[in-house]
């Protein structure tokens, strides 16, 4: 009998995917999967429809089209003040997940330890296991989920080679502060760690303070690889178009890995992606205003149902404490919400290695307004 690879041992369909299937079976509203169900920019769709047949439809070079990398460099500079050379410090990837896979493949070896801050995006864990890397959790405490120095230092050991941070965070919506990033910088420099920063939600934040790119703080720039994506900012996750930025030496290695894994990102979509990245600031302000409205409406619905939603500073998720339901786990809470209200959410356990301290669920508000309104109605009447 053909043997299954050991690296798949213990891996199975993600909790997010499994809940989507349950929602389909029961006819429930799906607030589980974070798949950007709001319309992409109308101008982008119009230009794509008009020009698609004229775009290049062969491979691009492994690092991506120059026009795309230049657009990434320009946008990163405008929004974060971080300067990256498009020819040597930017790489087009098949989504941010492709950027992460190539980074782990290029820069870490089997058995290396990687710090994960709990709660973390569940695919980080899958990606580490596929590379035979060791997840090393650091538990962050709600409701703010801030990084503090003592638990981080306690998690470092002789095998630790890297850490993954995410800001704005999925699932908590927390935005890392300069103080937190200074802690990350000091610990990373002391132990010579690679820092992988997932900033795919950089354009979705609430409040006046702009996005703070990790690589602009302390001494992080020289050891930080930044993952980005067009999927969240432009509601085009199905395009699978992302990028990675960082020091030339690291990006050169990641380019080799990305080439071996997938050859290149979709060339015609890179051309259209470059146009999306050039949209003006009015687009981003409208994007944030839209998500802020959706966030408030759904949070009010959970609160009206007697639950305790957090106040995310960014991303498009609520992380809801369901203790008032009388449950002890997020799994129980998500099942009750699904069965009683026909609203699908993700159990908080999907974002932790060990059981979380509270029965959390995550709910996505990147859905149409009528879906949010119906979800609120069902929550209030069903919980």
How does pLDDT run across 76-129, given as a tens digit for each residue?
999 999 999 999 999 999 999 999 999 999 999 999 999 999 999 999 999 999
Provide the 3-class DSSP secondary structure of residue 318. Answer: strand
Summarize pLDDT for 322-348 with one digit per residue, the tens.
999 999 999 999 999 999 999 999 999
Buried b (16+ CB within 10 A) or exposed e, 7-35: eeeeeeebbbeebbebbeeeebbbbbbbe
Question: Can you give the residue ranges of every domain in the chain?
Answer: 6-40+282-382, 55-277
pLDDT at 17: 73
CB 379 within 8 A of CB 301: yes
Contact between residue 167 and residue 204 where contact means Cβ atoms under 8 Å apart: no
375: nearest Cα among 345, 332, 336: 345
Reply yes or no on domain 55-277 having CATH 3.40.1190.20: no
End-to-end CA distance of the chain: 49
**CA–CA separation, 291 and 260 (whole Å):** 37
Give tens-digit pLDDT for 223-235.
999 999 999 999 9
Return d(Cα 281, Cα 233) in angstroms, integer: 12
pLDDT for res 104:
98
Q: What is the pLDDT of residues 257-279, one digit of tens each?
A: 999 999 999 999 999 999 999 99
pLDDT reported for residue 169: 98
For the entire predicted model, the pTM comes to 0.95
Cβ count near 103 (within 10 Å) = 27
- What single string gives the DSSP state of each residue in 19-82? HHHHHHHHT-EE-SS----SPPPHHHHHHHHHHGGGS--SPPPTT--HHHHHHHHHHHHHHH--
Does the pLDDT at position 6 exceed 90?
Answer: no
Cα–Cα distance measured from residue 358 to residue 324, given in angstroms and rounded to the nearest whole number: 11
Name the phi and psi angles at 97, rounded to 5.
-65, -35
Class of domain 6-40+282-382: alpha beta
Question: Rg (Cα) of the chain, in Å, rounded?
Answer: 20
Give which of 97, 313, 311, 317 is closest to 200, Cα–Cα.
Answer: 97
Q: Per residue, what are the HEC states of 109-177?
A: CCCCEEEEEECCCHHHHHHHHHCCCEEEEEECCCCCCCCCHHHHHHHCCCCEEEEEEECCCCCCCCCCC
* pLDDT score for 311: 96
> Is the dihedral angle over the CA atoms 335, 337, 338, 339 positive or is it negative?
positive
- Whole-number Å distance between alpha carbons of 269 and 277: 12
* Sole residue written with tokens 């146009």: 275
């Amino acid at each position: 009998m053909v043997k299954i690879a050991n690296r798949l041992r213990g891996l199975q369909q993600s909790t997010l995917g499994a809940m989507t299937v349950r929602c389909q079976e029961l006819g429930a509203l799906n607030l589980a999967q974070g798949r950007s169900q709001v319309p992409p920019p109308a101008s982008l769709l119009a230009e794509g429809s008009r020009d698609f047949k004229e775009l290049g439809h062969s491979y691009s070079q492994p690092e991506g089209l120059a026009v795309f990398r230049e657009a990434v460099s320009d946008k990163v500079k405008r929004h974060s003040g971080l300067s990256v050379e498009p020819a040597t410090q930017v790489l087009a990837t098949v989504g941010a997940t492709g950027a992460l896979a190539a980074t782990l493949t290029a820069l870490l070896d089997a058995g290396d330890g990687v710090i994960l801050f709990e709660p973390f995006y569940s695919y980080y864990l899958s990606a580490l296991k596929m590379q035979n890397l060791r997840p090393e959790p650091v538990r962050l405490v709600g409701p703010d989920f801030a990084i503090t120095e003592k638990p981080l230092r306690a998690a470092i050991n002789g095998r630790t080679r890297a850490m993954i941070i995410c800001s704005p965070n999925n699932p908590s919506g927390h935005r890392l502060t300069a103080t937190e990033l200074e802690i990350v910088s000091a610990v990373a420099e002391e132990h010579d760690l690679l820092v992988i920063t997932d900033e795919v939600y950089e354009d979705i934040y609430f409040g006046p303070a702009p996005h703070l790119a990790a690589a602009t703080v302390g001494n992080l720039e020289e050891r930080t690889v930044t993952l980005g994506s067009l999927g969240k900012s432009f509601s085009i996750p199905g395009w699978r178009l992302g990028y990675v930025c960082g020091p030339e030496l690291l990006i050169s290695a990641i380019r080799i890995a990305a080439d071996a894994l997938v050859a290149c990102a979709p060339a015609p979509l890179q051309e259209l992606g470059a146009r999306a990245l050039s949209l003006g600031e009015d687009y981003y302000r409208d994007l944030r205003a839209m998500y802020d409205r959706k966030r408030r409406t759904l949070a009010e619905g959970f609160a009206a149902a007697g639950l305790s939603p957090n106040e995310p500073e960014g991303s498009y998720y609520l992380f809801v404490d369901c203790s008032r339901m009388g449950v002890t786990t997020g799994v129980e809470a998500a099942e009750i919400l699904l069965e009683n209200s026909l609203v699908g959410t993700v159990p908080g356990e999907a974002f932790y290695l060990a059981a979380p301290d509270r029965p959390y669920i995550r709910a996505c508000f990147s859905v149409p307004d009528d879906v949010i309104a119906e979800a609120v109605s069902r929550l209030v009447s069903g919980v």
